[in-house]
Amino acid sequence: MSALEVTARFHGPYAATVDVRGHAIAVDEPEHAGGADDGVMPTELLAASLASCFALALGHVARRDGAELPGLRVDVRSERAGRELRYGRLLVSARADVPLEPYMASARRLCWVSNTLASPPEIEYRTEDP
């Protein structure tokens, strides 16, 4: 995989639909923030990306070693960086019905989202006028 592309279509006032390989993700803000709460917040998608990627990485590593991880659950807690409009800390907690420690380091190395956040990519913004 050399490139990944998604498209967000704005519906207003705080709602959008994100199209990913034929899948649609509803995005919105909660009512108290001016939205209609018809979808997840973008920041929740960020945490969801980290949680799901790490869960998949743990599952992959366990399968590779001939093991299963029944009851696997990965939670992400995002803590705001003071009053800044960003998160300063992401706490990833994993649990299962079996010990996970043998798989944690390998899964950490395989998690694309963890790796991207650990060494943030360059972000370029541009417009494409009609």
List, for residues 18-42, the tens digit of each pLDDT value. Answer: 999 999 999 999 999 999 999 999 9
Residue 92 CA to residue 113 CA, distance in Å, equals 12
Q: Work out the pLDDT band at 2, boundaries 50, 70, 90.
A: confident
pLDDT score for 18: 98
Residues 6+ positions from 81 with CB-CB distance below 8 Å:
87, 88, 89
Amino acid in the structure at residue 26: A
- The encoded tokens of residue 98 equal 């079996």
> What's the pLDDT tens digit per position in 72-86?
999 999 999 999 999
H or E element, residue 50: helix 42-64
pTM (two decimals): 0.93
pLDDT at position 87 over 70: yes
Q: Which CA distances in Å does 127 have to 9, 55, 63?
A: 15, 35, 44
Amino acid in the structure at residue 72: L
Nearest to 87 by CA among 121, 55, 46: 46
